[in-house]
Structure 1
Amino acid sequence: MRDVPGRLEAVNGRSVYVEESGNGEDWVVFESGAGAGRTCWDPVLPLLPDTARLVAYDRAGRPRTEPVAGALSIDQMADDLVAMTELVVPRPFVLVAHSMGGLVARRAAERLGSRLRGLLLVDPTPETSPMYDDWDARVAKADRMMAVMQVLTHVRALRRLFTGNLRAGYSPDTCQAIVDEDFTPAGTAQTRKELQAVADGIRDVRRRPPAPPACPVIVLAAARPVRRKPHEIAFVASAQEHDRLYVQSLPDARFEAVDSAHLMQAERPQVIAASVRELLARAEAHEAE
């Protein structure tokens, strides 16, 4: 998978790294979650080679893309997503987003309009979740741990200490790319900025939720915690319920609980690929009416 050629594109005044693969007239764009770049989708893309043209990219500040000037924000990430697709994707497309990327994708959907044919949200945790009630404290705790991690990742031999859960779902070459790009001092610093962007922006998202997408939507919710501890089981159950409530608020949406932990693209890539094909088929049926 890591032999996919990439290129730099000028997006909103900075160079953004983009990879394209696949074949067909349809287009699918992938938005990663916090702390991840285009490589997180590697298990999914080979399942869709003849389904569509597939676009994965690195957000501003990730190792192969230039950073933004000043603080990072959800709206800025959404602006970049919209601008990248206007430059790279010549036709209406399906958008796939994981975790924090769901907030970015839903803000972007407000501006994409009829260019968005379908939206697939992979374990997105909408803003209604009580998880965000104490998000500042959660981010502060995570930031303290990542500050230590950022120092340790200066030592290349220590980087793999932080990637144990990746090895089961990713090929060795993808694991190596993730270690070399995301589990570095620069990659860790960017992850801290992305989490802080959510902390800074989630109150506004709660006050002013993104408009409902005017396209078919599928939400895939992780049904299994990483560890079977009571608080993690309760967290997953709560996240599922809020994903389900979000789907019920939409005119054309489907909810599915998936036997997977949060990193679904590594554990259940075939479910994501099947949902992409479903959205493309639904979009085609709508357009034929």
Structure 2
Amino acid sequence: MTTSDRVGRRGSRRAASLLSVAVSVLVLAACGGSSADPPALAGDLYQVDGETAHLQCQGAGSPTVVLLGGQGFTTTTWDSFRAALGPDVRTCAWDYPGVGHSTGAPMMTAARAASSLDGTLRAADVPRPVVVVGHSIAGLTTRLYVGEHPDDVAGVVLFDPTVASFARMFDDKEFRPGWDGTASADQVEQVTAWPDIPFEILRHDPAVYATAKVWNATVETQWGTEQAAFARLAPTGTARIVQGSGHNVYQDAEGESLAAVQRVLDAVVTKR
């Protein structure tokens, strides 16, 4: 593959990342899993509160890394990332209720997502504390889950996480395919502090969004400010821009994203 081919591929992925944001304001209008997803294994399906939850685990090692996709993204969105982490990192990718191989009602809130995640991890007997790695809408789930289960989470990495004001914007703009944005914002804002755990936020490059005219500078500033405040929930939390990245940071800048997860894993092991 030539250098121009590699650049072209990165550009195509970045463009797709931006398109997903521009079309649905950080949410994918998905009604379930992709038809391309392979059939679920019986051992990866669990009964949680009368629903079927899909949690696909692989690899070895401790702590377990729990992977939470953006809205509408199934577990397969993490395939490349998990392969790059290697077999010595235990990962468990989760399908939200109503997405992929998980069943459930179409309307979701942060509280319902956090409760379902907790029930799934317990049903699957996943050792805790875990490291949570999430993208986009997973920011809402993770903020509440850590607030409600502080002893169950050892570290967090979030890629361009959704913040409360944007969850409300979903409702204002009628972009809420499967999520009650206002209720979710109210729920996550009750969490004002996290335990002292390693926490990194990697966010998109504002210059990339400005070039693509995804939104105006005022909205960009607001989102960046709230993501920085989100990082400060943990005493040593950090938020930083990944140059050249669109919304899907873990795909647009896989190397930097993997390095962030490894830093958090190393920090967790050191604290033991």
Q: TM-score range by the shorter chain?
A: 0.7 to 0.9
Q: Aligned partners of 1:25, 1:36: CA distance in 2, in Å? A: 25
Whether 1:136 aligns to 2:118 is: no
Q: Aligned partners of 1:210, 1:286: CA distance in 2, in Å? A: 23
Whether 1:56 aligns to 2:93 is: yes
Offset at residue 133 of structure 1 (A) = 5.8
Describe the shift of the 1:11–1:286 C-alpha distance in structure 2 as closer, same or farther (beyond 3 A): same
Q: Secondary structure at the match of 1:10?
A: strand
Structure 2 spans left out of the alignment, 5+ residues: 1-36
Kept after mapping to 2: 8 A contact 1:4/1:19? no
Q: Secondary structure at the match of 2:154?
A: strand
Q: In structure 2, what is the equivalent of residue 85 of structure 1? A: 121
2:205 to 223, 247, 256: 223
Q: In structure 1, what is the equivalent of residue 261 of structure 2? A: 276
Residue deviations 1:51-85 (CA, integer Å, cap 9, x gap) = 421000211111311114x8432101100111112
Q: In structure 2, what is the equivalent of residue 47 of structure 1? A: 84
Describe the shift of the 1:73–1:231 C-alpha distance in structure 2 as closer, same or farther (beyond 3 A): closer
Larger helix percent: 1
Partner amino acid, structure 2, of 1:93: V
Offset at residue 45 of structure 1 (A) = 0.8
Q: Secondary structure at the match of 1:228?
A: helix
Q: Would you say how many aligned residue pairs link Structure 1 and Structure 2?
A: 231
TM-score, with structure 2 as normaliser: 0.75
Q: Aligned partners of 2:96, 2:168: CA distance in 1, in Å? A: 26
Partner amino acid, structure 2, of 1:34: Q
Whether 1:238 aligns to 2:226 is: no
Kept after mapping to 2: 8 A contact 1:5/1:20? no
Residue deviations 1:16-63 (CA, integer Å, cap 9, x gap) = 112112222331001112122212222211111234210002111113
Q: Aligned partners of 1:80, 1:239: CA distance in 2, in Å? A: 27
TM-score, with structure 1 as normaliser: 0.71
Structure 1 spans left out of the alignment, 5+ residues: 144-191
Q: Aligned partners of 2:122, 2:71: CA distance in 1, in Å? A: 23
Describe the shift of the 1:94–1:134 C-alpha distance in structure 2 as closer, same or farther (beyond 3 A): closer
Instruction: Report the RMSD for the aligned CA atoms in angstroms.
Output: 2.6
Q: In structure 1, what is the equivalent of residue 23 of structure 2? A: none
Residue deviations 1:166-217 (CA, integer Å, cap 9, x gap) = xxxxxxxxxxxxxxxxxxxxxxxxxx113xx2233323434x2354244221
Q: Aligned partners of 2:108, 2:213: CA distance in 1, in Å? A: 34
Whether 1:31 aligns to 2:73 is: no
Partner amino acid, structure 2, of 1:270: G
Describe the shift of the 1:252–1:227 C-alpha distance in structure 2 as closer, same or farther (beyond 3 A): closer
